[in-house]
Amino acid sequence: MEGTMQPAAGIIGTATLPSGLRGDYDRAQADGTLPEAALAPRTEADHATWRTLVSRQRAIYPGRAASAWLDGLDQLRCEGAVPRLEDASAILRAATGWSLVPCPGLLPDAQFFGLLASRRFPVTHWIRKPEELDYIVEPDIFHDFLGHVPLLTQPDYADFLEAYGRLGLHAEKRGQLAPLARFYWFMVEFGLIAERDGLRAYGAGILSSRTETLHALSDAPRRLRFDMARVLRSTYRIDDVQPVYFVIRDYAELFAAIETAPGLLEAAVMAEPIAPGRGAPGDEDWPG
């Protein structure tokens, strides 16, 4: 997705979906996943589109993509064709106990959180058309798989995402989805991590977009030290690259943040949201 990022599954903040979505929702099962019989076969055009997208992104990853994410991408061996979810699931189960399930696209929050809580990651089945290489409105398999799946080979991150799903089920019942969506946006889709050789991107919304990958590690945006309370109050735009990114020191930090989240979510619901790109008292700029 080039330059923009529409809301991904699980961060819509509603029990229903917008109308006019692209996927085959009529054939989805109760948990939001698609049965085997509903999966259209891949065409050579699909595989060619996948190879083009991966090749373009691979060229800009050196010095920008997180090392654990790159290791996961290498483990998945998915560059030559649109990946088979069952093959990737076998790799993930051996590494972290996760598996992948096909879905029509965006999912209502309850379905999304339920899948994450059971270590099942939903991946959109369809892939964009060749004329959509530089912009697509809804997340497709390229965003979902290439952006999100590599880090599911990393134990700390895999544990965090399961915990996020369980927290989401709790937050949905308490009317706290808006701040939890901000956490997903900034720390799952657009997160940065400090590594020995400098800042690197691990967020799916960055690493599945050429524009966002180049922008996130440039001198243009502001980068702040991750602070859970700050993130939960930080609103975002979906129609442009990010003006602000948050930086973690390791993936275990995300898991630890989940433990503090219940009390912070309640406070964030009551607090004044922070507008996109705007500063706030206590902000700690990341050096360099």
Residue 287 lies inside a defined structural domain of this protein: no
pLDDT score for 19: 80
Q: What is the largest CA-CA distance in the chain?
A: 53
Alpha-carbon distances, residue 255 vs 73, 116, 149, 172, 228 (angstroms): 22, 14, 17, 19, 11
**Structural domain of residue 119, as residue ranges?**
29-270
CATH number where 167 lies: 1.10.800.10
Residue 286 lies inside a defined structural domain of this protein: no
Residue 238 lies inside a defined structural domain of this protein: yes
Residue 182 lies inside a defined structural domain of this protein: yes
Could you tell me where the beta strands, DSSP code E, fall in the chain?
99-103, 120-124, 192-195, 198-201, 222-225, 244-248
pLDDT score for 146: 97
Domain total of the chain:
1
170 assigned binding-site residue: no
pLDDT score for 288: 65
Which residue in the block uniquely carries the two structure tokens 């096909």?
102
131 assigned binding-site residue: no
Give the length of the chain: 288
125 assigned binding-site residue: no
Encoding tokens for residue 106? Answer: 């965006």
Residue 1 lies inside a defined structural domain of this protein: no
CB 188 within 8 A of CB 248: no
Residue 158 lies inside a defined structural domain of this protein: yes
Residue 8 lies inside a defined structural domain of this protein: no
Angle (CA) 167 170 174, round 5°: 130
Residue 89 lies inside a defined structural domain of this protein: yes
pLDDT score for 18: 80
Q: pLDDT tens track of the chain, all 288 residues? A: 444 444 444 444 456 678 889 999 999 999 999 999 999 999 999 999 999 999 999 999 999 999 999 999 999 999 999 999 999 999 999 999 999 999 999 999 999 999 999 999 999 999 999 999 888 888 999 999 999 999 999 999 999 999 999 999 999 999 999 999 999 999 999 999 999 999 999 999 999 999 999 999 999 999 999 999 999 999 998 888 999 999 999 999 999 999 999 999 999 999 999 999 999 999 999 986
